[in-house]
Amino acid sequence: LFFVMEFINGGDLMYWIQLVGKFKEPVATFYAAEVAVGLFFLHSHGIVYRDLKLDNILLDFEGHVKLADFGLCKDGIVGMKKTQTFCGTLDSIAPEVIRRQPYGISADWWCFGVFIYEMLVGQPPFSGEDEEDLFQAILEVNPSFPRNLSKEALSICRGFLNKDPNSRLGCSPAGSLEIRDHVFFRRINWELIESRAIQPPFKPCVRDKRDTSNFDSAFTELPTELSPTDKLFIMNLSQSEFAGFSFVNPEFVIEV
Protein backbone atom coordinates (compact mmCIF):
# COMPACT_ATOMS: atom_id res chain seq x y z
CA LEU A 1 0.00 0.00 0.00
CA PHE A 2 1.52 3.31 -1.09
CA PHE A 3 0.31 6.75 -0.08
CA VAL A 4 1.18 9.14 -2.90
CA MET A 5 1.36 12.71 -1.62
CA GLU A 6 2.17 16.11 -3.02
CA PHE A 7 5.93 16.69 -3.13
CA ILE A 8 6.89 20.07 -1.68
CA ASN A 9 10.51 20.64 -2.61
CA GLY A 10 11.32 24.07 -1.19
CA GLY A 11 12.68 22.57 2.03
CA ASP A 12 11.40 23.01 5.58
CA LEU A 13 11.83 26.04 7.81
CA MET A 14 14.21 24.19 10.12
CA TYR A 15 16.55 23.62 7.17
CA TRP A 16 16.46 27.29 6.18
CA ILE A 17 16.76 28.74 9.67
CA GLN A 18 19.83 26.58 10.31
CA LEU A 19 21.44 28.25 7.30
CA VAL A 20 20.73 31.84 8.38
CA GLY A 21 20.54 31.52 12.18
CA LYS A 22 17.26 33.40 12.60
CA PHE A 23 14.75 35.33 10.50
CA LYS A 24 14.28 39.08 10.35
CA GLU A 25 10.97 40.18 11.84
CA PRO A 26 9.15 40.91 8.53
CA VAL A 27 10.10 37.42 7.29
CA ALA A 28 8.98 35.78 10.53
CA THR A 29 5.73 37.76 10.45
CA PHE A 30 4.92 36.52 6.95
CA TYR A 31 5.54 32.87 7.81
CA ALA A 32 3.65 33.22 11.10
CA ALA A 33 0.65 34.71 9.28
CA GLU A 34 0.51 31.91 6.70
CA VAL A 35 0.86 29.25 9.39
CA ALA A 36 -1.83 30.96 11.50
CA VAL A 37 -4.24 30.75 8.56
CA GLY A 38 -3.57 27.01 8.40
CA LEU A 39 -4.29 26.64 12.11
CA PHE A 40 -7.46 28.74 11.80
CA PHE A 41 -8.66 26.30 9.13
CA LEU A 42 -7.85 23.18 11.15
CA HIS A 43 -9.44 24.56 14.31
CA SER A 44 -12.59 25.58 12.42
CA HIS A 45 -12.95 21.91 11.47
CA GLY A 46 -12.46 20.64 15.03
CA ILE A 47 -8.86 19.52 14.46
CA VAL A 48 -5.98 20.17 16.86
CA TYR A 49 -2.63 19.88 15.07
CA ARG A 50 -0.46 19.14 18.14
CA ASP A 51 2.92 19.05 16.41
CA LEU A 52 3.60 22.52 15.04
CA LYS A 53 7.35 23.04 14.63
CA LEU A 54 9.85 24.34 12.10
CA ASP A 55 10.47 20.83 10.75
CA ASN A 56 6.80 20.40 9.82
CA ILE A 57 6.48 23.63 7.87
CA LEU A 58 7.47 23.21 4.23
CA LEU A 59 8.01 25.82 1.53
CA ASP A 60 6.63 25.27 -1.95
CA PHE A 61 8.52 26.38 -5.06
CA GLU A 62 7.03 29.89 -4.74
CA GLY A 63 7.96 30.25 -1.07
CA HIS A 64 4.50 29.81 0.47
CA VAL A 65 4.19 27.54 3.50
CA LYS A 66 2.44 24.20 3.76
CA LEU A 67 1.83 22.28 6.97
CA ALA A 68 3.02 18.68 6.95
CA ASP A 69 2.87 15.58 9.14
CA PHE A 70 -0.66 15.28 10.49
CA GLY A 71 0.09 12.08 12.38
CA LEU A 72 -0.58 13.60 15.81
CA CYS A 73 -3.74 15.48 14.85
CA LYS A 74 -6.82 15.01 16.98
CA ASP A 75 -10.21 15.59 15.39
CA GLY A 76 -13.62 16.07 16.95
CA ILE A 77 -12.38 18.86 19.27
CA VAL A 78 -15.40 21.14 19.05
CA GLY A 79 -17.28 23.16 21.64
CA MET A 80 -16.22 22.15 25.14
CA LYS A 81 -14.69 18.84 24.07
CA LYS A 82 -11.05 18.32 25.07
CA THR A 83 -8.39 15.64 24.84
CA GLN A 84 -5.71 14.53 27.31
CA THR A 85 -3.28 12.54 25.17
CA PHE A 86 0.36 13.24 25.99
CA CYS A 87 2.06 13.83 22.65
CA GLY A 88 4.07 16.34 20.66
CA THR A 89 7.68 17.44 20.26
CA LEU A 90 9.35 17.75 23.67
CA ASP A 91 10.54 21.37 23.57
CA SER A 92 7.19 22.56 22.16
CA ILE A 93 4.78 20.76 24.49
CA ALA A 94 2.35 23.05 26.29
CA PRO A 95 2.26 23.16 30.12
CA GLU A 96 -1.27 21.75 30.25
CA VAL A 97 -0.17 18.74 28.17
CA ILE A 98 2.74 18.09 30.55
CA ARG A 99 0.34 18.31 33.50
CA ARG A 100 -1.97 15.78 31.76
CA GLN A 101 -4.81 18.28 31.92
CA PRO A 102 -7.62 18.37 29.32
CA TYR A 103 -6.70 20.64 26.42
CA GLY A 104 -7.88 21.76 23.00
CA ILE A 105 -6.57 24.40 20.62
CA SER A 106 -4.61 26.00 23.48
CA ALA A 107 -1.84 23.45 22.87
CA ASP A 108 -1.50 24.61 19.25
CA TRP A 109 -1.24 28.27 20.19
CA TRP A 110 1.49 27.47 22.70
CA CYS A 111 3.41 25.66 19.94
CA PHE A 112 2.78 28.66 17.70
CA GLY A 113 4.43 30.89 20.30
CA VAL A 114 7.45 28.57 20.43
CA PHE A 115 7.55 28.66 16.62
CA ILE A 116 7.56 32.48 16.47
CA TYR A 117 10.20 32.67 19.22
CA GLU A 118 12.47 30.24 17.37
CA MET A 119 12.16 32.19 14.12
CA LEU A 120 13.07 35.47 15.81
CA VAL A 121 15.67 34.28 18.31
CA GLY A 122 17.16 31.25 16.57
CA GLN A 123 16.74 28.84 19.47
CA PRO A 124 13.91 27.33 21.54
CA PRO A 125 12.54 29.38 24.46
CA PHE A 126 13.06 26.51 26.92
CA SER A 127 15.91 24.08 27.46
CA GLY A 128 17.12 21.49 29.95
CA GLU A 129 19.79 18.86 30.52
CA ASP A 130 17.20 16.12 30.16
CA GLU A 131 13.47 15.67 29.64
CA GLU A 132 12.67 16.28 33.31
CA ASP A 133 14.65 19.54 33.37
CA LEU A 134 13.07 20.66 30.10
CA PHE A 135 9.54 20.05 31.35
CA GLN A 136 10.31 21.83 34.62
CA ALA A 137 11.52 24.84 32.63
CA ILE A 138 8.37 24.85 30.51
CA LEU A 139 6.23 24.73 33.66
CA GLU A 140 8.14 27.19 35.85
CA VAL A 141 10.60 29.35 33.88
CA ASN A 142 9.76 32.46 31.88
CA PRO A 143 11.68 32.65 28.59
CA SER A 144 14.33 35.32 28.18
CA PHE A 145 14.13 37.73 25.25
CA PRO A 146 16.94 39.51 23.37
CA ARG A 147 17.04 43.27 23.86
CA ASN A 148 16.78 43.88 20.12
CA LEU A 149 13.38 42.19 19.90
CA SER A 150 10.63 44.67 19.01
CA LYS A 151 7.91 45.40 21.55
CA GLU A 152 5.38 43.93 19.10
CA ALA A 153 7.31 40.66 18.84
CA LEU A 154 7.82 40.60 22.61
CA SER A 155 4.09 41.08 23.16
CA ILE A 156 2.98 38.28 20.86
CA CYS A 157 5.55 35.81 22.20
CA ARG A 158 4.46 36.51 25.77
CA GLY A 159 0.83 36.23 24.72
CA PHE A 160 1.24 32.78 23.20
CA LEU A 161 3.72 31.53 25.83
CA ASN A 162 1.35 32.30 28.70
CA LYS A 163 1.44 29.21 30.91
CA ASP A 164 -2.26 29.60 31.74
CA PRO A 165 -4.21 28.27 28.73
CA ASN A 166 -7.27 30.27 29.73
CA SER A 167 -5.30 33.52 29.44
CA ARG A 168 -3.24 32.53 26.40
CA LEU A 169 -3.52 34.54 23.19
CA GLY A 170 -5.98 32.89 20.81
CA CYS A 171 -7.80 30.95 23.52
CA SER A 172 -10.43 33.52 24.51
CA PRO A 173 -13.94 33.61 22.99
CA ALA A 174 -12.56 36.12 20.47
CA GLY A 175 -10.26 33.36 19.25
CA SER A 176 -8.69 34.01 15.88
CA LEU A 177 -9.87 37.63 15.84
CA GLU A 178 -7.54 38.68 18.67
CA ILE A 179 -4.65 37.05 16.82
CA ARG A 180 -5.48 38.76 13.53
CA ASP A 181 -5.78 42.11 15.34
CA HIS A 182 -2.53 41.78 17.29
CA VAL A 183 -0.08 44.60 16.63
CA PHE A 184 2.58 42.09 15.54
CA PHE A 185 0.44 41.48 12.43
CA ARG A 186 -0.36 45.16 11.88
CA ARG A 187 1.05 45.11 8.33
CA ILE A 188 -0.66 41.86 7.35
CA ASN A 189 -3.64 41.88 5.00
CA TRP A 190 -5.34 38.66 6.03
CA GLU A 191 -7.46 38.37 2.89
CA LEU A 192 -4.35 38.54 0.73
CA ILE A 193 -2.55 36.06 2.98
CA GLU A 194 -5.42 33.59 2.71
CA SER A 195 -5.47 33.87 -1.09
CA ARG A 196 -1.66 33.51 -1.29
CA ALA A 197 -1.56 36.87 -3.06
CA ILE A 198 1.37 38.28 -1.08
CA GLN A 199 4.79 37.61 -2.54
CA PRO A 200 6.84 35.51 -0.09
CA PRO A 201 10.03 37.08 1.26
CA PHE A 202 12.09 34.20 -0.04
CA LYS A 203 11.79 31.92 -3.08
CA PRO A 204 13.64 28.60 -2.83
CA CYS A 205 15.97 27.67 -5.67
CA VAL A 206 14.26 24.70 -7.32
CA ARG A 207 15.65 23.22 -10.55
CA ASP A 208 12.68 21.01 -11.36
CA LYS A 209 9.75 19.17 -9.77
CA ARG A 210 12.01 16.37 -8.53
CA ASP A 211 14.77 18.55 -7.11
CA THR A 212 15.66 17.46 -3.55
CA SER A 213 18.57 19.86 -2.98
CA ASN A 214 16.61 21.84 -0.37
CA PHE A 215 16.55 18.91 2.03
CA ASP A 216 19.32 17.61 4.26
CA SER A 217 21.28 14.84 2.54
CA ALA A 218 21.01 12.84 5.76
CA PHE A 219 17.41 12.19 4.72
CA THR A 220 17.60 12.16 0.91
CA GLU A 221 20.44 9.62 0.88
CA LEU A 222 18.63 7.09 3.05
CA PRO A 223 17.95 3.80 1.22
CA THR A 224 14.35 3.09 0.24
CA GLU A 225 13.01 0.17 2.22
CA LEU A 226 9.68 -1.30 1.13
CA SER A 227 7.69 -3.38 3.58
CA PRO A 228 7.54 -6.98 2.35
CA THR A 229 4.19 -8.11 0.97
CA ASP A 230 2.77 -11.07 2.85
CA LYS A 231 0.17 -12.53 0.49
CA LEU A 232 -1.36 -14.65 3.25
CA PHE A 233 -1.83 -11.51 5.33
CA ILE A 234 -3.41 -9.73 2.35
CA MET A 235 -5.82 -12.64 1.80
CA ASN A 236 -7.04 -12.39 5.39
CA LEU A 237 -7.34 -8.61 5.34
CA SER A 238 -10.77 -7.08 4.83
CA GLN A 239 -10.74 -5.50 1.37
CA SER A 240 -12.88 -2.66 2.71
CA GLU A 241 -9.63 -1.27 4.14
CA PHE A 242 -8.72 -0.22 0.59
CA ALA A 243 -12.00 1.52 -0.24
CA GLY A 244 -11.64 5.08 -1.45
CA PHE A 245 -8.15 4.78 -2.89
CA SER A 246 -7.73 6.10 -6.43
CA PHE A 247 -5.91 2.99 -7.60
CA VAL A 248 -5.82 -0.55 -6.31
CA ASN A 249 -3.47 -3.18 -7.71
CA PRO A 250 -5.81 -5.91 -9.02
CA GLU A 251 -3.18 -8.51 -8.11
CA PHE A 252 -3.97 -7.99 -4.45
CA VAL A 253 -7.75 -7.61 -4.70
CA ILE A 254 -9.70 -10.67 -3.71
CA GLU A 255 -13.34 -10.80 -4.73
CA VAL A 256 -15.56 -12.32 -2.05
Domains along the sequence of the chain with CATH: 13-194 (1.10.510.10)
Rg (the chain; Cα; Å): 21
The predicted-structure confidence for 196-232, as pLDDT tens digits, reads as follows 999 999 999 888 878 888 888 888 888 887 776 777 8
For residue 255, pLDDT over 60 is answered with: no
pLDDT of 4: 72
pLDDT of 256: 44
Catalytic positions are 51
The structure's pTM equals 0.86
Q: What is the mean pLDDT of the chain?
A: 91
Q: What average pLDDT does this structure show over 228-241?
A: 75
pLDDT tier at 34, thresholds 50, 70, 90: very high
Cα–Cα distance list, 210 to 6, 202, 219, 220 (Å): 11, 20, 15, 12
| CA dist., res. 114 & res. 110, Å (int) | 6
Task: Look at the alpha carbons of 91, 92, 94, 97 in this order and tell me if their dihedral is positive or negative.
Answer: negative
Q: What percent of the chain has pLDDT over 70?
A: 94
Cα–Cα distance list, 105 to 47, 77, 102, 235 (Å): 8, 8, 11, 42
